Structure 1
Amino acid sequence: MISPTIMLRRPSSVYRYFAPAVVLVMVVYWYILTPARIHIATGALTSTAAQLQHMHVANYHTPGRIGQIPVGLQHTKGKPHKGHKTQRPHPIEELVGKAQTTFNNLLARQTYSLNGTAAAYRERRGRHPPPGFDLWYKYAADNNVLIVEDFWDQIYDDLQPFWGVATQQLRHDTYNFHMKISVRNGSASTTSDWFWTQTWLEMIRKVEHMLPDMDIPLNAMDEPRMVVPWEDMREVLDRAGAASGTRDTRTKETNNVVTGYQQLDPDLSKDVAEPQDIVWETAGPYWDILRRGCDPESATRQVPSVTDFHEAPPIRHNYAQAHMQRGFVVNTTLASDICHQPDIQTLNGIFIEPLTISTTKKLFPLFGGSKLSVNNEILLPAPAYWRNDARFSIAADSRANSIAWEDKVNGSFWRGVATGGRNRPDNWRGFQRHRFVAMNNATALAAQGRSHNIDKSNELAAWVAASSDCAFVDLFCDTDSKVASACPYVDPHYAVAKGRPLSEQVVYKFLPDIDGNSFSGRYLAFLRSGSVPVKATVWREWHDQRLVAWKHYVPMDTRFSDWFGIMEFFVGRGGRHGRDDLAKRIAEDGGAWAERVLRKEDMQVYVLRLLLEYARVLDEKRERMGWVDDLQ
């Protein structure tokens, strides 16, 4: 993900802009203890506020008054008075300005010819482009694809380790995987009828005539399945670097370059004399499986794992400092990296208890739609972005696409299922969607009262009620009940609201996008909606290098401590006007950019380039392969 450079924060500014986090912490503790039913729907609140119990703010230590929301909307004009300093711009204004610079620099690297694109490839990748690169370029140009070499960084991050694995072993593992797409003689096929596999097959068939022979193993689960220990990955990457030779050799040699791919036998079952079977782990704790992918010196490897999730999860903002600037996300890549944030093991359902565990330490090519920072899968565009499913897209002829910004509701809207993992009576309190819906309960904020040291809690509650509409449509309970609202252990805390199609959700200006069991399939629709996506995620996807935070969307920390500050900045509060102009610009820029670089054609071009590179990794002559017609 492209992000502005991290800046060190001064202690004097940290406290002002982390104050909203205190409100979040108090709300988190509140929803653990209160039986109030949570539901904010078009301003109508249902709760039993009289039954609210007292709460505390243990495990949180931030100076200043609890409940303050950072304002910082105005600039100090003219010369400052004696003894006073000129006020800095609001941190979001700074981040938006830096994002524009980042985006301009990105566009400046666009290439417009085959030879120019090949030169940019060699400069960035340190080797010749793969055979078939000229076909890839023509296909991209014919489909009006914007070509910036940075857009394909994810491909090379994903594939680099496999240069350190023997090609024979790779071919054996891919052929013998139970769910795969095979390409032979320019034709793609599969024996699986799973709808994700069928969707990926449809995607690949758009480019199958340009593909060499290969087998493509697919992960059909929500959860990623491969976490190679950090120590083992270091060895693999060392072998990968040694196998590739020096940069000069890879980019200057042209006489002995192999310009074609191998053909594969339809039956590769005996390709390896002594195949190494894949061993699957099916039991947790899942956090212990994940953190083996982190550096041994990282905080996540050093801090003990949590095993008891009964109590309210503590919010540890010291672990967020690496990716925050004055209280807001400045580096989205770091924000989704679990290795410096051991506290998020209690703040997301995938870390607490995923629906399914089926994980291996072995490195083999496995393709999927999303992954965590420590996973080793190869990313494809997710099926949710390809299919015209009403859950994840808005029909092209829908009236929702023509709503002017000025006609949208000046607030936020979220509806969703209480997913994230397998929530149980003893673990649901830290699940991300439960936390987010809880902190958007105006009745709970009003009920806290001054006895809990919440500054102007009634004002805050009224503001949340007017600017936020968040509710579950299904409690997704770990019981045998088929009724969406029947869940004994959370039913006292949440009310279930009626679902709304995406065409009705996008009438709001701000659309928080919260992870479910894995990535959110609504993200692309939100980007195209003419509203502002406010994205909180721990997941990596194929398009991350194409989107610029604070230019195309608003990033949010997974702790949600910046949520109130984000909304107060854009919407306004207490008679102060928000920066509606900046919100409108982000909504328009994000929508236009999505229509430019996140179309189905862009997915096809990404897949074609990925699979050409993947086929080279599988080839016996991979170290000598390349496209060098421009150098002849």
Structure 2
Amino acid sequence: MGQSICLRIRRIKVKPVAVTSWLKNSSPNETVSIVRRVKLKHPITQLMEKADIVYRRKLGSQSRTLRQAVSQYKKRYRRLPPKGFDAWWEFAKSNDFKMVDEFDSLMSDLEPFWLLSPHELRERARQVGELPSIDLVSIVNGEGFEGEDRPPADRAIGFFTMIEPFIELLPDMQFPISIKSEGRVIVPWEQSLQPNATVLSSDGEGLLGGSFTEDWKGEGTVWDAFRRACPPDSPARRLFSSVRGQAHTSQSSFNLLFNKGSTPTIHPSSLGLVGFQRFVDFCKEPSGRILQGHFFSDWRTLPSLFPVFSPAKAPGYSDIVIPSHYYYGATKRYTYGIDPVLFLMKETDNFEVNWGEKKDVIFWRGASTGGGSSPPGFLHQYHRHRLVQKASEHSTGNTTVLFPDPSTSTETSFISVAVPTAEINKEIFDIAFTKAIGCDLYVGGGCEQMMEDHRFANAVQLTDHYKYKYLIDLDGMGYSAHFLAFMGSESAVLKTTVYREFFSDWIQPWLHYIPVSDSYNDLYNIHAYFSGPSPSELKAFSLLGNHTNEFLAAHKREGDQKLRRIARAGRQWKNTITRRVDMQVYVYRLCIEWARLWSDNRDAYVFR
């Protein structure tokens, strides 16, 4: 874009450290390149190797017999398995289910309900099932029923379909299924200590009766409810910490890389890559909530420990997670490998593209959703808006990217090159909104201003995504229902999320997908590692001599092979770990655990 690239090389000896992330963006005026002699492999190489070891160890340690499974259960959860555990085990093993021991998240979801008596639990299920946003799925005498007062929503129908193969083996019980994708239950911290104290009001009327409404109607937001779920001494409960904006640093990446002192070392906390996907503790980091739109929703949460089954939940919520009906069903919008005419499932989609023909860019399309607007003024900071802004061809300043040092041809030295951000964005991104939603509340001019500030393009079919090597998956108002479809394609999935789903215990970042920070600063170095230098980066490398081209070509070939390895591992994971029958196994396990909580005699409702 008319900007010159200057290259300065400075050699610095640094101490080896355990690195779990990489460079942040440089300051707007920085165009410095530095060779770092580091006696370790590239951080992404380390992360991929570690991920492979961790997953293989987990997969290889799963119980092989019912006796081993019972022993593992008692070791993890300090109690006997529930009645029906043997039937569940046979169902799981007969369907070649892999992760027989990995249900820690499910058990964590259910643990608070042990503090309620069976009567209290059943009463709360009845109460919450009266809400228009909740469907009550009942099992009576081995048969299932949805609520008779109104037609059930798709999510309840999907759940009922999942339990059909084993419903005759289940006792009578009820499941309140949320019709919404967002989490619903946020229990105030003080009440979480005595959850049974507010089941019924003093006159016996249900807690949700009377004045309860479906939304706050301008009287509050999710954040107002969420911060009350945090401990009293947490920053989120302190007024100043809960309202101040996100702090951003203007330090250059060079200054952030090294500790102060005479002997510089790489500072792990200053680097940009996500080691393994972590979930932000918004109680401790309340300023981060302005980057997550779901905190600005005015859809009322439930202020007590009610049993609500939802497809995903963010940290701090008490919903019970179930598989999404979008994953279990078959739709042209969310399902990979669906025959568009017969609606049959195929392992390889008709529109899949060979790896060598896929475009070497990071691709995303979606609407400008991402949260509510109560109060207004934060829309431009939501996760989708920030990604579109990050990838803009009109960005200013420079971006620093690292590559192996061509002068050494080893894995222990790296060179960083600062290039104009606008140029590199054009080369490695194809990211745009397809529809403006909620834009009338956009700061500075509503829809017209949003259209000016962000790139917009035509909507694309799900199958059009398969033309790209990198597919970045973003949350919307809730979890992203495209994830499993993207994983099924032979494209590498990049993922950032605040939501936990049913498969969270079964997937391994840096093996099955590439975790991305919520700042998106690491996207540049991720692309550089796997795809080599873009044309604007090659301009800088040309100053190093002709030997550079051969070295970088070899680097690109090796990186491309590693990227394809992730893409293939993701597809293999999807086809072997999150099949429809795997979702049935998950829900079956949930049902027998729920049946024990529902039983009047929990102590006797055990498998021995």
TM-score (norm. length: structure 2)? 0.77
Residue 480 of structure 1 and its aligned partner are, at CA, apart by 11
Cα distance in 2 for residues equivalent to 1:542 and 1:171:
24
**1:305: how far off?**
5.3
- CA distance in 2 between counterparts of 1:124 and 1:594 reads 26
CA contact (8 A) 2:494 2:516 kept: yes
Correspondence for 1:144: 96
CA distance in 2, matches of 1:303, 1:526: 41
Tell me the secondary structure at the aligned position of residue 224 of structure 1: coil
Give the aligned partner of residue 282 of structure 2: 338
- Are 1:434 and 2:438 an aligned pair? no
Q: 1:521 is matched with which residue: 481, 491, 494?
A: 481
Partner of 2:595: 615
- Distance in structure 2 (CA, Å) of the matches to 1:359 and 1:114: 40
Check conservation: 1:219, 1:367, Cα contact below 8 A.
yes
Match of 1:593 among 573, 588, 601: 573
Where does residue 116 of structure 1 map in the other structure? 68
Cα RMSD (Å)? 3.6
Q: After superposition, what is the alpha-carbon deviation per residue over 1:461-481, rounded to whole angstroms, capped at 9, x for unaligned?
A: 333212210001101134499
Counterpart for residue 46 of structure 2: 94
Alignment of 1:99-248 (within 5 A): 99-150=51-102, 152-176=103-127, 177-178=129-130, 179-191=135-147, 192-235=151-194
Read off the aligned partner of 2:523 and give its amino acid letter. Answer: W
| Equivalent position of 1:284 in the other structure | 220
Aligned-partner residue type, residue 24 of structure 2 = P
1:218–1:66 CA distance, 2 compared to 1 (3 A): farther
SS at match of 2:161: helix
Secondary structure in 1 matching 2:603: helix
Instruction: For 1:140 and 1:468, locate their aligned partners in 2 and report how far apart those are by CA, in whole Å.
Output: 42
* Shift in Å, 1:411: 1.4
Partner of 2:316, secondary structure, is: coil
Aligned 8 A contact 1:536 1:555 in 2: yes
Separation in 2 of the partners of 1:461 and 1:116? 57
What residue is the counterpart of 1:530 in the other structure?
Answer: 490
CA distance in 1, matches of 2:267, 2:110: 27
CA contact (8 A) 1:413 1:469 kept: yes
Is the 2:33–2:418 Cα contact (8 Å) retained in structure 1?
no
Write the distance in 2 (CA, Å) between the matches of 1:322 and 1:387: 46
Q: Counterpart amino acid of 1:329?
A: V
Cα deviations by residue, 1:251-281 (Å, 9 ceiling, x for unpaired):
xxxxxxxxxxxxxxxxxx99x9936513567
Amino acid aligned to 1:443: H
Structure 1 gap segments, 5+ residues each: 1-9, 27-64, 73-84, 240-268, 449-453
Aligned to 1:464: 425
Distance 1:88 1:322, change over 3 A: closer
Question: Does structure 2 conserve the Cα–Cα contact (< 8 Å) formed by 1:91 and 1:326?
Answer: no
Offset from partner CA, 1:470-504 (integer Å, 9 cap, x none): 001101134499xxxx9233122224211111211
Distance in 1 separating the partners of 2:18 and 2:350? 40
CA contact (8 A) 1:20 1:68 kept: no
Post-superposition offset of 1:567: 1.9
Deviations 1:219-274 (A, max 9, x none): 1123211111234324559x9xxxxxxxxxxxxxxxxxxxxxxxxxxxxx99x993
**Inter-CA distance 222–289: structure 2 relative to 1 (3 Å threshold):** same
Q: Distance in 2 between matches of 1:17 and 1:605?
A: 36
Aligned to 2:236: 300
CA distance in 1, matches of 2:379, 2:137: 37
- Residue 113 of structure 1 and its aligned partner are, at CA, apart by 2.1
Q: Which whole-Å CA distance do the structure 2 matches of 1:553 and 1:131 have between them? A: 36
* SS class of match (1:403): coil
Q: Judge conservation of contact 2:377–2:441 (CA < 8 Å) in 1.
A: no
- Give the aligned partner of residue 549 of structure 1: 509
With 598-607 and 98-107 compared, the bigger mean Cα shift is at 98-107
Partner of residue 11, structure 2: none
> SS state of the match for residue 509, structure 1?
strand
Structure 2 residues not aligned, in runs of 5+: 1-13, 257-265, 339-344, 400-415, 539-551
Q: What per-residue deviation string (whole Å, max 9, x for no partner) do you get for residues 563-615 of structure 1?
A: 22222222222244442222111111111011111011000010011011011
Identical pairs, percent: 27
Contact 2:466 2:491 in 1 (8 A): yes
**Alignment size in residue pairs:** 519
What is the rounded CA distance, in whole Å, between the counterparts of 2:35 and 2:145 in structure 1? Answer: 57
Structure 1 contact 303–342 (Cα < 8 Å) conserved: no
1:414 CA drift (Å): 0.3
How far, CA to CA, are the matches of 1:285 and 1:273 in structure 2?
Answer: 29
1:374 aligned partner: 316
